Amino acid sequence: MRWHGVGWRAGAGVVALGLIAWAAFEIWAAPPVTQPIQFPHKTHAGDLSLPCTTCHERAEKDAVAGRPPTALCLSCHAGGDATPEIKKVQAFEGGGEIPWKRVWRLPPHVYFPHRTHVVAAKVTCQTCHGPMETLDRPPARPLKTLAMDDCIACHEKRTGRAERPAGPVAVVAARALSTDCNACHR
Ligand code: HEC
Ligand code: HEC
Ligand code: HEC
Ligand code: HEC
Ligand code: HEC
C-alpha cells in the first residue's frame, strides 16, 4: 500500500479506507436517475459522430463539463414531424433550459478539473465515463465510477512522464501529484 510509503500511520489509513469503502458503497447505492427526455447518446455521438465537446463544450475550458443549451438541440430539432420525445424538447423553446439531472458526482470535498484532464493530460472521456456513445437512453447510473484509488493509480502512472505543461499543473505534479491530498481535497 502506498499510504505507508508516504508516512501514514496505519490506524489513520484503516479509518480512511473504511470511509472510502463507505463512500464507494454510497455511490453504488444511489437511487437510479430518470431524465426529463430520453436523450440517446448513440444517435448523436455514435451515428452522427458529433464530438463529445460539441455539447459538453466547457470540458475543454472549465472544471465542469456542463450541458448543451436547449438552443443547440433546437438548431436540429426545431420543426418537422416531431416524435413525442422531440416534442418535449420543443416545449422548452424560449422557456429556458432542460432540467437534466446529475449522474456522476464526487463528494463535495473533492476537486475534479475537466480541463486539465481533457486538454493538458489528453485523457479520453471514455476512460472515465465508459462508452457513452453506445447508449440509446440516458444512463440511470454511472457506467463507470472513479474511486480515490483509480484517480491515484493514473496519477502515479503518469507522473513519470518527461514532458509536462508549465503553470499550476506542473507545480502540483512537482509536489508528487499522486499523493498530495491537497491537490484533490480542497
Ligand atoms: C446536429 C444535429 C442534432 C443536434 C444538435 C441534436 N440532435 Fe437530437 N437527433 C438528431 C438526429 C439526426 C436524430 C435522429 C433522427 C430523428 O429522430 O430526428 C436525433 C434524435 C434525437 C432523439 C430521438 C428521437 C426519437 O423519438 O427517437 C432525441 C430525444 C433527441 N434527438 C434529443 C436531442 C436533444 C435533447 C438535443 C440537445 C441536447 C439534441 N437532440 C441535439 C440531430 C441532432
Ligand atoms: C448532442 C449533444 C450531446 C453529445 C454529442 C454528447 N452528449 Fe453527453 N449529454 C448530453 C445530454 C443532453 C445529457 C443529459 C442526458 C443524459 O444523461 O443522457 C448528457 C449527459 C452526459 C453525461 C452524464 C453527466 C452527468 O449527469 O453526470 C456524460 C458523462 C456525458 N454526457 C458524456 C458524453 C460523452 C463522453 C460524449 C461523447 C462520446 C457525449 N456525452 C456526447 C448531450 C450530448
Ligand atoms: C479523468 C476522468 C474524466 C475525464 C477524462 C472526463 N471526465 Fe467527465 N467527469 C469525471 C468526474 C470524476 C465527474 C464528476 C465530477 C464532480 O462531481 O465534481 C465528471 C462529470 C461529468 C459531467 C457532469 C458534471 C459536469 O461537469 O457537468 C459531464 C457532462 C461530463 N463529466 C462529461 C465529460 C466529457 C464530455 C468528457 C470528455 C470531453 C469528460 N467528461 C472527461 C471524470 C472525467
Ligand atoms: C488524485 C486525487 C486524490 C488524491 C491525491 C487524494 N484523494 Fe482522497 N479522495 C479522492 C476521491 C475522488 C474521493 C471520493 C471517492 C472515493 O471515496 O473513493 C476521495 C475520498 C477520500 C476520503 C473519503 C471521504 C468520504 O467522502 O467519505 C478520504 C478520508 C480521503 N479521500 C483522504 C485522502 C487523504 C488523506 C489523501 C492524501 C494522502 C487523499 N485523500 C488524496 C481523490 C483523491
Ligand atoms: C487516466 C488518468 C487520470 C485519471 C483517471 C485521473 N487523473 Fe487527475 N490528472 C491526470 C494527469 C496526467 C494530470 C496532470 C496533468 C498534466 O500535468 O499534464 C492530472 C491532474 C490532476 C489535478 C491537478 C491539476 C489541477 O488543475 O489542479 C487534479 C486536482 C486531479 N488530476 C484530480 C483528479 C481526480 C479527483 C481524479 C479522480 C476522480 C483524477 N484526477 C483522475 C490524469 C488522471
pLDDT-flagged residues of the chain (< 70): 1-29, 160-179
Q: Maximum Cα–Cα distance for the chain, whole Å?
A: 65
CA gyration radius for the chain?
A: 20
Q: Whose CA is nearest to atom 40 of ligand 4?
A: 181
pLDDT tens-digit map of 32-60: 999 999 999 999 999 999 999 999 999 99
Pocket test for ligand 5, best of 27, 64, 114, 117 (most atoms within 8 A of CB): 117
Q: Whose CA is nearest to atom 6 of ligand 5?
A: 151
pLDDT tens-digit map of 85-98: 999 999 999 878 99
Residue 133 CA, closest ligand 2 atom number: 38
Q: Left (φ > 0), alpha (ψ -120 to 50) or beta: where does 176 sit? A: left
